[in-house]
Structure 1
Amino acid sequence: MVRKKTGRLTLKERIQIETLLTEKKNKSYIAITINRARSTVTREVNKWVQTDRDKYSAECRLPLFRTVS
């Protein structure tokens, strides 16, 4: 069994989430693809998508990456 990563999501992982959501992949598939827990992916998406019309965007986190990194 491959050990799951811990810690913060990277920008690359967030871009993968965005791309896979655009391709209509489910959160379980995305979690397996980026080697993260399904709950991590779900929390990340739910944090930034409040309504059905909202679209997840990795760029919404860019200002935070610039201040933290």
Structure 2
Amino acid sequence: MQHGNGLHFWTKGYHEIRYASGTGLAMCSFGFSDVYDNTLVVVTAGEVIEDVGATARVWRWYIEVSDK
């Protein structure tokens, strides 16, 4: 998680991070799984710059339904 906002989210306790882009819209994706192995995927965009109050926002979310 060395790219983009990856380290920021990791240190905040979001260990569900799957991907962090260091370029473009600084997109990150997270995967939150439930006990049935379904996954809520959350995609954020925007660079986090705490000194000026800039933060990432949810760009989109969707559910990946397990086929188990």
Structure 2 length as normaliser, TM-score? 0.25
More relative contact order, 1 or 2 (CA 8 Å, 6+ apart): 1
- Tell which structure's C-alpha radius of gyration is larger: 2
Q: Which has the higher helix share?
A: 1
Q: Which has the higher strand share?
A: 2
Structure 1 length as normaliser, TM-score? 0.25
